[in-house]
Every structure is written in C-alpha cells, then in structure tokens.
Amino acid sequence: MPSNHLTRNPSPMTIRIEIVGALRGSLDGAAVTPSQPKLRRLLALLAANPGTVVRHETITEELWSGPPSAQLARIVQTYVSQLRKLFGTSDVCAHTPKVGYRLALSPPDYLDTEHLLRLRDTAEAHLRAQDPRAAADVLGAAVDLCRGEVLSDVSLGPVLRREKARLDLVRVGVLERYLRVQLDLGHPEAVLAQVDRVVREDPRHEQLYASLLLGFALAGQRARATDLFHEVRTRLARESGLEPGQALRSAFERALRDEPGRSGPTAVGPPGVRPLRGTRQRPEQVLPAGPVFGHGPQLEFAVSELRRSPVLAVVGAPGVGTSTFCARVSDQARGDYPDGRLLADFAEHSPVEILGSFLRALRPGAPVPDGLSARARLYHRHTRDSRLLVVLDNVVECTDLTALTPASPDSTVLLGCAARPSGIPAVDLPRLPVEDLLALFASRVGQSRVDREPSAAWSLMTRCGGLPLVAAVLADLARYRPHWSLGRLAQRLATDPPLAAGKLDLPAAVARSAAGLDRVQWSALIRLAHREGRPEALSADWVARALELSVPASTELLDRLTALRLADPAPRGPRADTRYRLDPLYLRAIRELCARSPRRAPGPWAPPTPDRRPRQVAST
C-alpha cells in the first residue's frame, strides 16, 4: 500500500507527461523523467492509454514478452512505487485489483496526447461549422505540440510498438489536415513553413508530400515541386519498391498544369474551402447489426479509436463474431461519416469486383471502367474530398488495400481479419462468457423457453467454446424444432454440437482463417485434426514426433496457427516449454471441411477450395 506522504496535498504540484517526441516527465517544472529502461516503458505504456486500465498481462507482454506471474507482478508493483515517488503522489498510478494499473491525471496535470486529441477534435468541429480560419489556428497549435515521432527515445516492446503506430498516425493526420486547410485558405507560406517536418516523415504518407508539393506550386516554385516529386518517388522505390500513389501523382499533375488550388465553384462557405461533404450520392452498404451481445468494452474502444486513426483492424478467432462486431462499430460511428459507408467481403469478391460495387454505389447509373487500375483511379478521384467509412471484412495478410482505400484522409477503413496486421491499431475480440452466449441464445429462441429450462440452456451454451456463431447455430436448431425440449436437444447433442446451419457456418470461417497457411502447413493441420490420442496442450516436440516434422517446422506451424487465432498459447508445462491448445471445435471443423471437399489434390489431404461465387453486396 502506498504510504501517506505520497497522497495529494491541498496544493498539489503539477504533473506533466509528454510522449509525442522524446519521453518527458516533470513535476512543477522539474524534470523527473525515469532513466531505467523498463520503468520508462511502463510510464510510456500508461501514458499511451490515459484513463484506461492497462491489464497485468499487457504490462508483462510489453516488459518481458511473456505471460504474467506472481514474481513479475511484484516487480511491476516495485516499478509503480518508483513512478509514484517520482511524481510525488500515489494517485498518479491507480490500481484496480486483479486487473491492472491506470494513469490518473487531473487538472492542472498535463498529458500531451490528450491535449493533441482535444485540439484535433476542436479543429474538426470548426471545420464542420464552416470556420476554417479558426480550425487552422487550432491545428497549428496541435502541430506545434508534436516534437517528433512518438516515444522516439524509448526502447519499445511489442505492445508499445502498436501504440506508437497508432499515435503516430494521429500525429501525421493532424499535420496533413493542417496543410490541407492552409492550402484551402490560400496560405502556401504556412505550408512551406512545415518543410522540415514533412521531409522527416515516411514517404508513404503521400498526402503530406502532396500538400507540400502543391504549396510549392501555389507559391510559384514549380521547379521545387518537381524536385520534391522525384525525390519522393526515388525514396519510395528504394525503401519499399513502390511507385507514387494517386494522391501524389494527382498533386504533381495539377502543379504541372499550374492549377494547384481548388477548382470549380461547387464549394459552399468561405472561398476556396471545400466542405466535408459534397453534393454526391451517399451509399449505405452496411446493414444494421441487429441484436448483439457481449464485447461491450471492445466496442467502446473501437468507436473511440475510429475517430483517431485512419485505419482500424478488428481481430478475432473464427466464429467469435468479427463481422457482426464491425457492423456494430459502423452503426455507432455512422454520424461521423456524412458521405456514407461502403462494405466489401474478401471471402466473396475480388478487389476488382469490390471496386466495381463501390463505384456503382458512389455513382449510380454512371459507367464503370474495366480493370483494377482504371477502377482504382476513378475511385480515388471520386473519394478525394469525401468522408467515408469503408468496412473490409475477411481481410487476409497478403491483401493489398491501396486500391480500396479512399484518397481522402478524412475517411476511415475498418478491417475485419483473423491475424493482427502489422503496424495498424487493432482491437482483439475475446471469446464470450456463457452468460453472453445465453443472452444471444434467448434472443433467438425466446426468453420464456430458456426460463422454462435454464439448466439445459446453460448446458448447451457451455459446449460452444465461447463462440457466438456456434451458439447461433444451436439456437437455429432449437428454433426450427419447437416441439423439442431444450433438455432433449442437450441430450441429443451431448458430444458433438452441429457447426453449421444455413449461412451460419463455422467450418467456412475456419477455412477463411486457414487460407493464411501454406500448403505444407495446411496438410500438417489436417493430419493433426485426424490424429487420435492428442494431448489437450500440444508442444512442438510432440507435434514434430506425431507428424514426422522437424522441431523448427512444428514450432513455426504452431506459431502460425496462433497468429491466425486457430490455436492459443496454453499454460507452460513442467519443463517450462511453450504449449498450445487447439480448440476441439476447430479440429472438428477441419475434419468436416475435408469431408466437404469435392476433390483431393496430390497428397493425403487437400485444402478445400473456398466458395468464391460472386454474391451481391447488400445495399439499402
């Protein structure tokens, strides 16, 4: 317990913590930045999540890249005590027993990320009120607040790397918005004053460089605009093997045509300022989610994060409800996107088909060109000044989203995927507790039916493995057999609950996740699913012996299954070796996929061919 001398006094000293740039901490103006590496990382982790309880497992993953333990919990307590001493109060690190710690600041304390987000939101409010000059002043203050890359002098673990990526997107987004507003106001000198900031950024932030290029052109410095374009093109080719995208190419073409400013008399409000929403068709392809249950904290986080980041990934295991969750997030955030919402499912359509659907929704009755490149160019041109939410479901790691990302930085892309994408903020969906599954089940079969047989209903939900998709399958089975009691249903399904009912199909969801495996790994997984006598927790050594693989190959397989949410790390064994648990429902789903497969390729088993027949994207 903290000692009394650390409690806030009637005249508290001001705490100031800054992470947008090098890590800084001060108490009444005196520097108190910790020097010990792990202490710095703990402070950074808490500061990156202000007002949010950072769980014990998240802290130990960041500091030690492992699961929590009693010994590590004591070390964390020591670090927290040191932070409390540095900042002169026990209140700065609030403890939630058995959960984690939270950075608790109150006026007049200061955290730069909170101030940055407030400034950004205030500027957006000014823009919606058609007051770009006020927005420019506020955005200028936000830009001045940023001292460089987030946590530029902190050694980062896996969690902080994700937080840094998220906050750096916010920082770059503020700078992009500031430059665009100054261009709209006809102030190229304000844009050129940020040259040093822009050229330090990754060239893949093309909207930054596009605005700078237009600033040079508007100031009459077309030669410098041309030099900048070729410098960025060279950097892109050298660092990532890419060519300039639509935003930069379009800016360069406008500069060469000597028309860097906004064109056309369609703007409403002050001269030269384009409103957030133009006179265009508003597509609404995302259908309402309907009654949904569970994942409340994750929903609150996702909606909040969607307002901060241009892209957000929703990551979940097969059957955990990723698609439904994305629809819920889209419903909650609908008011933030006046130009509409677009939906695409990569399990159903190719990128060229998706772009065709998007263009028909955005431009009803207008011709749609053939080919991916032509459609992408038209899509980017049409979304250049839009505020859209684009929901892309069943995204796999190898998917290139460049063509499907709107050209406007005011738009947002929401991804539904099985594996966490690198460098993108993400929300992980856990499996649901039995209570939430029971509520879902009751909503489908009727609460009165559940109330008559609560024990049988509970027994059914315990067999779902925390997967709402399986609970929905059981509910549909009960709904279409109203003459059956739930007790009879539970008795008939004592061992193997069904995995599919109509469009609810767990094996198909597992197949989509397994698409991230190569052919050798898929073959090994199928043999593992048919292997009898499996232990509940598998080690790499056991898998290597059972499947006649090398230990490195079996370790790579298990790690890959974990990344795709088809396996979970299990508690360590007696020799402290890493073990993995494969959900029996997933293994059954894999066996069912093999039974469904119409043909087999060379070898003992062949991966199923996913159903890619085009289906119409829902539209309202």
Chain centroid, CA 470 distance in Å: 25
Strand order in the sheet with 15-18: 30-31, 24-27, 15-18, 110-111
CA torsion through residues 70, 73, 78, 81, sign: negative
Phi then psi for residue 365, to 5 deg, are 85, -10
Sign for the CA dihedral angle at 100, 106, 112, 114 comes to positive
155 close to 41: Cβ distance less than 8 angstroms: yes
Alpha carbon 261 to chain centroid, angstroms: 34
pLDDT-derived band at 611, boundaries 50, 70, 90: very low
Is residue 616 one of the residues assigned to a domain?
Answer: no
Cβ within 8 Å of residue 584, ≥6 positions away: 465
Confidence at 139, pLDDT banded by 50, 70, 90: very high
Residues 233, 125 share a domain: yes
Residue predicted with more confidence, 245 or 21: 21
DSSP-derived pairing of the beta strands 389-395 and 24-27: unpaired
Q: Which of the listed residues 429, 451, 478 is the one where a domain comes to its end?
A: 429
| C-beta separation of 337 from 329 below 8 A | no
Q: Within a domain: residue 284?
A: no
Residue position matching structure tokens 């790390």: 569
| Distance separating alpha carbons of residues 322 and 319, to the nearest angstrom | 8
Is 369 found in the same domain as 310?
yes
What is the CATH number for 219? 1.25.40.10
Give pLDDT, residue 39. 95
63-72, 273-282, 292-301, 394-403: range with lowest mean pLDDT: 273-282
Label residue 12 by pLDDT band (50, 70, 90): low
Q: Which two tokens stand for residue 459?
A: 């027994």
Q: Would the pTM of this model clear 0.75, i.e. be above it? A: no
258-293 in b/e form (b: 16+ CB < 10 A) is eebebeeeebeeeeebbbbbbeeeebebbeebeebb
**What confidence tier does 91 reach under pLDDT thresholds 50, 70, 90?**
confident
What pLDDT digit, counting tens, does each position of 390-442 carry?
999 998 866 678 889 998 878 899 999 988 877 678 899 999 999 999 999 99
pLDDT beyond 80 at 1: no
pLDDT at residue 237, rounded to an integer: 84
Quote the domain boundaries for residue 91.
4-110
Asked if residue 167 and residue 148 are part of one domain, the reply reads yes
- Tell whether 279 is covered by a domain: no
Task: Write b or e for each residue in 379-408: b if 16 or more Cβ atoms lie within 10 A of its Cβ, otherwise e.
Answer: bbebbbbbbbbbbbbbbbeeeebebbbbbb
108 preceded by a cis bond (ω within 30 of 0): yes
Q: Are residues 84 and 203 in the same domain?
A: no
The pLDDT of 462-478, averaged and rounded, is 92
- The verdict on 440 and 456 lying in the same domain is yes
| Interval 375-392: pLDDT, tens | 999 999 888 888 899 999
